Amino acid sequence: MEPEEENIPQQSPTPDEPVAEADFSRPIEAEIPADASPAGIDQGAVETTGEEIPAAEVAEPVVEDVAGLPAAASLGTAPRQLVGEPHPKKKFWSKVLPWVIVAALFYLGGLATIFFALYQPQKQADTAAIAELSASATATAEADANKIIDLTNDYNQALKQYSDAQAELDLTKAELEANRTIVMDKDAELAAVKLSNLAYKFLVDVSSARIAIEKQDTATARQAINFAKADLEELKSTNVTADVLSGFAEKLNEASSNLTLSGIEKSRSALDSLYSNLLLFIGNLP
């Protein structure tokens, strides 16, 4: 706090003794030794410039700080202060500035505390967590990439196997189709051979009946005619159309019913006609 200027007590003048008035028109300059205390100042040691101040009017010398310096400075003598001069008042910013500095220091201290106690650990924890997540994500991505590579390799291998199997299947189908064609051709050849065999067998049995009639051996002729009828039934079971075989059964029945001495000529004529038809049939076989 600023030392307030103390009022110098004055004694009331008595009517008997006139009191000389102090001249305050000019400031009074006082010298105060550096080792003197305010209570131990000898009033007789105070020197004035020009006039002498009565002891009754001087109660105590005023010592004030000048420009923030203490009264007893290390210079050996205290700075001079004009007694009676009005004390300069401090400005508003001079009073507020220390508090602003203190508040700023507290604010900076709080910021530093928050930074080092909260922000920095949290930032380090976040950095560690991000690094851990990044490492985990990288490991997961690598594992997924390896799985994708393995699946791609398996797919390519399976696709190659499928292509090979499809090629083999196509080849087998082609071979099977070729074999089927061959089988069909062989079946056709076999059917043709079978038809040809039946036709020749039929022809042989008809020839045997004709020879037996020439010998007038009716029993042998009847047996040969019966064999020829069986051959005709087998021919009917083949792919030969009925129009081609028409008339063969009538000729055999006519030859079989006329196997007598009186009708043997009719049997010979029927068998000769049947023989000619068989030769024509055999000649047109595939």
**How far is C-alpha 54 from the geometric centre of its chain's CA atoms?**
105
pLDDT digits (tens, 9 = 90+) for 166-183: 999 999 999 999 988 998
Sole residue written with tokens 């039946």: 198
Q: Does residue 244 lie within any of the structural domains? A: yes
| Residue where one domain finishes, among candidates 68, 87, 106 | 87
Residue 20 has pLDDT above 60, yes or no: no
Residue 231 has pLDDT above 80, yes or no: yes
Q: In a 3-state reduction of DSSP, which class is residue 203?
A: helix
Q: Does residue 104 lie within any of the structural domains? A: no
**Domain carrying residue 269:** 186-283
Q: Please answer whether residues 235 and 212 qualify as being in contact, where contact means their C-beta atoms are separated by less than 8 angstroms.
A: no
Residue 90 pLDDT grade (very low, low, confident, very high; cuts 50, 70, 90):
low
Residue 38 has pLDDT above 60, yes or no: no
Q: What is the pLDDT of residue 66?
A: 45
pLDDT digits (tens, 9 = 90+) for 134-166: 899 999 999 999 999 999 999 999 999 999 999
Residue 30 has pLDDT above 80, yes or no: no
Q: Does residue 154 lie within any of the structural domains? A: no
Q: What is the pLDDT of residue 51?
A: 46
Reading the block at residue 214, the tokens are 């020439």
Choose the most confident range, by mean pLDDT, from 42-56, 134-148, 179-193.
134-148
Q: Does residue 79 lie within any of the structural domains? A: yes
